[in-house]
């Protein structure tokens, strides 16, 4: 039987957590309340990742169990679902951002402005938060460039690490600073803070140019070939993640797998020794308390996208088509 609801004070708010004893990761013995406490423990970090950004919620209200699946456009029968619009009954202190999808349809999407919004969403079963790379103040011009190093099936995390190091070296050559994080799986993400001056198409073109440079430098490791069946290298630089309405799971989001692994921000010096399985709902709070957030400096200085766009111009790269 689920326990009685609990009320938790988060800043100036009181957030009600219903069924706190509901199993969310039964193989780890973790409940909904454990998930809420995890987000509270890494609160400064996850709010930094989400603050004032339109954010899609990935909701698993029944928890993660064997056979659980998420609903898709092709099959809306699922145990979990993506919430792109403000849920009905949301408190009046949950702010939104008005965004436009590639289809031309619009929506008011949650844009967390305080930690209480994260905890409110966790009570709804949200495990992964998918923020757009824009702020609510300007939803048309990204202020983050996100580089997705996506391993092919069977490729281990250790094979992605050298690619990340080469990305860092190249960014350093251009005077740009990137911040890495695990995905909770075998891949890596690298984030850059950029001036909000360019379109989504420009940003995709910039990441494609970077990917092509990695392909030249690491020809045995990297591909930018879009069609999966044609990729013949271990790591795909997924430039399409900078498309409008394409999002990545935020730092500190929980991967909906039995082990409850999380997306962990890293310092570059940690990368060689890091393993995705080292970072989960149980271990991350102590790490955060000891080390803080390795991405704390991400938004301190914004870079120009011009060095990457100049490279794209030299290569004759057009903006990739929307997929």
Q: Where are the domains of the chain?
A: 6-139+252-258, 144-245+300-315
pLDDT value, residue 226: 77
Structure confidence at residue 2 as a pLDDT band (50, 70, 90): low
> Mean pLDDT throughout 22-43?
97
Structure confidence at residue 33 as a pLDDT band (50, 70, 90): very high
Is pLDDT at 138 greater than 70 in this prediction?
A: yes
Is pLDDT at 304 greater than 60 in this prediction?
A: yes
Is pLDDT at 95 greater than 70 in this prediction?
A: yes
- Range name among 76-80, 140-144, 173-177 with the lowest pLDDT average: 76-80
Is pLDDT at 111 greater than 60 in this prediction?
A: yes
pLDDT value, residue 101: 93
pLDDT value, residue 232: 80
> Mean pLDDT throughout 75-95?
94
Same fold flag, 6-139+252-258 and 144-245+300-315: yes
3-class SS of residue 119:
helix
Beta strands in the chain (DSSP E): 6-10, 13-17, 23-25, 30-31, 55-59, 81-83, 96-100, 106-110, 126-131, 144-151, 179-182, 188-193, 222-223, 235-237
- DSSP result, 124-182: TTEEEEEE-SSBTTBTTS-SEEEEEEEEPTT--HHHHHHHHHHHHHHHHHTT---EEEE
pLDDT value, residue 231: 74
> Mean pLDDT throughout 33-38?
98
Report which of residues 68 and 38 the model is more confident about: 38
Structure confidence at residue 126 as a pLDDT band (50, 70, 90): very high
- DSSP result, 42-70: THHHHHHHHTTS-EEEEE-TT---TT--B
* Predicted TM-score (pTM) of this structure: 0.96
Is pLDDT at 75 greater than 90 in this prediction?
A: no
Structure confidence at residue 37 as a pLDDT band (50, 70, 90): very high
pLDDT value, residue 229: 74
Is pLDDT at 265 greater than 80 in this prediction?
A: yes
pLDDT value, residue 321: 60
Is pLDDT at 322 greater than 60 in this prediction?
A: no
Which of the listed CATH numbers 3.90.1150.10, 3.90.920.10, 3.50.50.60, 3.40.50.20 matches domain 144-245+300-315? 3.90.920.10
Give the CATH architecture of domain 6-139+252-258.
Alpha-Beta Complex (3.90)
Mean pLDDT of the chain: 95
Is pLDDT at 42 greater than 90 in this prediction?
A: yes
Is pLDDT at 274 greater than 90 in this prediction?
A: yes
Is pLDDT at 1 greater than 60 in this prediction?
A: no
Give tens-digit pLDDT for 221-251. 999 987 777 778 899 999 999 999 999 999 9
pLDDT value, residue 203: 97
């Amino acid at each position: 039987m689920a326990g009685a609801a609990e009320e938790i004070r988060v800043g100036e708010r009181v957030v009600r957590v219903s069924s706190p004893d509901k199993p969310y990761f039964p193989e780890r013995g973790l409940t909904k309340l454990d998930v809420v406490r995890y987000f509270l423990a890494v609160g400064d970090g996850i709010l930094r990742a989400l603050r004032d950004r339109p954010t899609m919620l990935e909701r698993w209200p029944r928890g993660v169990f064997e056979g659980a699946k998420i609903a898709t456009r092709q099959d809306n029968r699922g145990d979990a679902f993506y919430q792109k619009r403000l849920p009905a009954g949301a408190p009046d202190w949950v702010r939104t951002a008005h965004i436009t999808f590639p289809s031309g349809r619009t929506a008011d999407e949650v844009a967390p402005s305080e930690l209480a919004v994260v905890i409110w969403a966790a009570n709804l079963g949200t495990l992964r938060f998918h923020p757009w790379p824009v702020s609510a103040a300007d939803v048309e011009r990204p202020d983050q460039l996100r580089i997705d190093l996506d391993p092919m099936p069977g490729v281990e995390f250790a094979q992605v690490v050298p690619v990340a190091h080469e990305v860092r070296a190249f960014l350093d050559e251009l005077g740009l600073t990137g911040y890495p994080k695990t995905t909770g799986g075998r891949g890596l993400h690298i984030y850059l803070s950029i001036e909000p001056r360019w379109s989504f198409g420009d940003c995709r073109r910039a990441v494609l140019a970077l990917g092509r440079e990695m392909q030249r430098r690491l020809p045995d490791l990297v591909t930018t070939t879009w069609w999966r069946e044609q990729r013949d290298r271990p790591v795909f630089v997924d430039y399409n993640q900078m498309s409008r309405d394409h999002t990545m799971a935020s730092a500190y989001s929980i991967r909906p797998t039995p082990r409850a692994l999380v997306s962990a921000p890293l310092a570059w010096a940690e990368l060689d020794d890091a393993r995705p399985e080292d970072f989960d709902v149980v271990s991350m709070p102590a790490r955060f308390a000891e080390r803080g957030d390795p991405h704390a400096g991400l938004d301190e200085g914004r870079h120009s996208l011009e060095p990457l766009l100049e490279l794209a111009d030299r290569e004759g790269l057009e903006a990739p088509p929307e997929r």
